[in-house]
């Protein structure tokens, strides 16, 4: 039976956020993501 | 459809939904900003966190009305979007500032976590709440809302309904604070640093802390985030102490003392990513253009997180346990608000000014 005192193994949301964050940083540093506009489309302007 | 397939489908459709709505947030934000600019108001008073939460609440009502909320729930990942946003935001923060604010934040966190935890424990005892609910609630209010509640629940073997209940309380309380605190800080003329430290020390959930900071200004957003992370860093220590207390004093099984490894297991690892990205930016590995792009991406991630706050709000759980826990939670929040104001002003306004 699961003991709630035990922390689950596997990729936690914390590590996942670090992984995704660093991957994005790598993409940006390598020039893969050169520009990110806010807003994307300017639909209502 | 099997449960696993249904969860996967819900995750994908939920994520797509959050993505589409986040694009809408950006479109609305730009349009609203333009509307105010056309009327001579340079600063858009309805900043994107408010637009995101409002749109999230509307979508939430539609999803619940059509009985599809539970299906897309796996894609509503507030914590994930928020933590990715914080890791990316670090590209715009010098590591020296993080260390300086982090040290002050840690001092503030030690004072606040200890005082607010024991105050909540004391008032919850006066109202006769069960020990597990007391522990989950005290952790949620004194440290960092939902994630602290979950960590505490694991440490004291709380029931699932107690976690759900406290989670609902956290979000219901955080939303008005996210809007009201920047407004009050502005009215009394707080500096961005002190205001950020106040938001970080008081609002329970990290997403709403970043939201309040964003509403007040860029420096406030950074200070609030760093201060809240310093507070989050204590979660492992508190979970370990709580588990030890419950095993020895409540369950009276001293032979089953938890291992100190809990401190590391519960440590919020995204802080490591945050510090690493800041080091990369501070040492010149990330150039000016990359920093600009990363800051824009962090804004997108935050918008998704704020949207999810609105999407996950549920008030139905609040009726499950009666009025006493609500009174305890609100009293502890008022105490936290007042104490955090004094401590933030003293540490960030006087000692570290």
Look at residue A11 in the predicted model and tell me its pLDDT: 63
Q: Which of B:170-229 have CB within 8 Å of A?
A: none
CA distance B248 to B177: 37
3-state class (DSSP) for residue B91: helix
CA distance B237 to B109: 13
Angle at B348 between CA B298 and CA B192, to 5 degrees: 45
Q: What is the pLDDT of residues B263-307, one digit of tens each?
A: 888 889 999 999 999 999 999 999 888 999 999 999 999 999 999
Of A6, A14, A35, the CB nearest to B268: A14
Would the pLDDT of A6 be above 60? no
Backbone φ, ψ for residue B205 (5° rounding): -95, 135
Cβ contacts of B157 on chain A, cutoff 8 Å:
4-5
Q: What is the pLDDT of residues B59-114, one digit of tens each?
A: 999 999 999 999 999 999 998 999 999 999 999 999 999 999 999 999 999 999 99
- The average pLDDT across B200-219 equals 94
Q: What is the pLDDT of residues B8-36, one digit of tens each?
A: 999 999 999 999 999 999 999 999 999 99
Cβ contacts of A35 on chain B, cutoff 8 Å:
293
- B46 touching A (Cβ < 8 Å): no
CA distance B139 to B151: 9
Separation of first and last alpha carbons in chain B: 59
CA distance B277 to A18: 10
CA distance B149 to B173: 15
Contacts 24+ apart (CB under 8 A), B258-262: B258/A5, B258/B155, B262/A5, B262/A7, B262/B155, B262/B236
Cβ contacts of A40 on chain B, cutoff 8 Å:
23, 26-27
Q: Do B27 and A25 touch (CB under 8 A)?
A: no
Q: What is the pLDDT of residues B110-136, one digit of tens each?
A: 999 999 999 999 999 999 999 999 999
Nearest-neighbour CA in chain B from A2: distance (Å): 11
3-state helix, strand, coil in chain B (%, to 5): 85, 0, 15
Nearest-neighbour CA in chain A from B206: distance (Å): 13
- B37 touching A (Cβ < 8 Å): no
Closest B-chain CA to A32: B290
Is it true that the peptide bond before B229 is cis, omega within 30 degrees of 0? Answer: no
CA distance B74 to B8: 8
Residue B167's nearest CA partner among B283, B274, B309 is: B309
3-state class (DSSP) for residue B300: helix
Nearest-neighbour CA in chain B from A31: distance (Å): 8
Do the beta carbons of residue B234 and residue B109 sit within 8 Å? yes
pTM metric for this prediction: 0.89
HEC assignment per residue over B29-86: HHHHHHHHHHCCCCCCCCCHHHHHHHHHHHHHHHHHHCCCHHHHHHHCCHHHHHHHHH
CA distance B74 to B69: 10
Cβ contacts of A20 on chain B, cutoff 8 Å:
80, 84, 87
Look at residue A1 in the predicted model and tell me its pLDDT: 33
Q: What is the ipTM of this complex?
A: 0.85
Do the beta carbons of residue B236 and residue B266 sit within 8 Å? yes
Q: Do B30 and A7 touch (CB under 8 A)?
A: no
Closest B-chain CA to A31: B290
Nearest-neighbour CA in chain B from A22: distance (Å): 7
CA distance B353 to B345: 9
Look at residue B253 in the predicted model and tell me its pLDDT: 78
């Amino acid at each position: 039976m699961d003991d709630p005192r035990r922390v689950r193994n596997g990729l936690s949301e914390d590590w996942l956020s670090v992984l995704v964050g660093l991957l994005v940083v790598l993409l940006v540093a390598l020039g893969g993501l050169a520009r990110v506009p806010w807003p994307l489309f300017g639909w209502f302007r | 459809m099997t449960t696993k397939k249904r969860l996967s489908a819900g995750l994908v459709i939920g994520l797509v939904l959050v993505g589409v709505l986040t694009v809408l947030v950006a479109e609305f934000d730009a349009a609203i900003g333009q509307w105010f600019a056309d009327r001579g108001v340079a600063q858009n008073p309805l900043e994107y966190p408010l637009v995101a939460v409002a749109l999230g609440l509307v979508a939430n009502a539609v999803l619940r009305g059509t009985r599809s909320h539970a299906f897309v729930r796996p894609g509503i990942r507030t914590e994930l979007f928020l933590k990715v946003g914080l890791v990316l935001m670090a590209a715009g923060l010098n590591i020296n500032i993080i260390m300086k604010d982090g040290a002050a934040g840690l001092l503030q966190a030690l004072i606040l976590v200890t005082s607010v935890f024991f105050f909540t424990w004391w008032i919850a005892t006066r109202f006769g709440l069960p020990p597990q609910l007391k522990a989950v609630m005290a952790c949620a209010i004194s440290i960092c809302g939902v994630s602290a509640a979950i960590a505490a629940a694991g440490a004291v073997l709380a029931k699932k309904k107690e976690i759900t209940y406290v989670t609902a309380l956290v979000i219901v309380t955080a939303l008005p604070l996210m809007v009201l605190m920047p407004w009050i800080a502005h009215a009394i003329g707080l500096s961005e640093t002190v205001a950020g430290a106040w938001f970080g020390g008081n609002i329970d959930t990290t997403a709403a802390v970043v939201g309040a900071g964003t509403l007040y200004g860029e420096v406030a957003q950074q200070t609030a985030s760093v201060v809240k992370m310093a507070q989050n860093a204590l979660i492992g220590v508190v979970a370990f102490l709580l588990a030890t207390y419950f095993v020895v004093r409540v369950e009276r099984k001293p032979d089953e003392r938890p291992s100190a490894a809990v401190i590391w297991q519960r440590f919020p690892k995204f802080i490591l990513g945050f510090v690493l990205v800041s080091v990369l930016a501070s040492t010149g590995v990330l150039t000016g253009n990359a920093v600009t792009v990363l800051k824009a991406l962090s804004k997108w991630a935050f918008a998704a997180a704020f949207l999810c706050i609105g999407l996950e709000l549920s008030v139905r759980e609040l009726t499950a346990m009666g009025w006493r826990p609500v009174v305890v939670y609100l009293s502890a929040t008022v105490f936290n608000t007042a104490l955090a104001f004094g401590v933030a002003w003293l540490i960030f306004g006087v000692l570290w000014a």
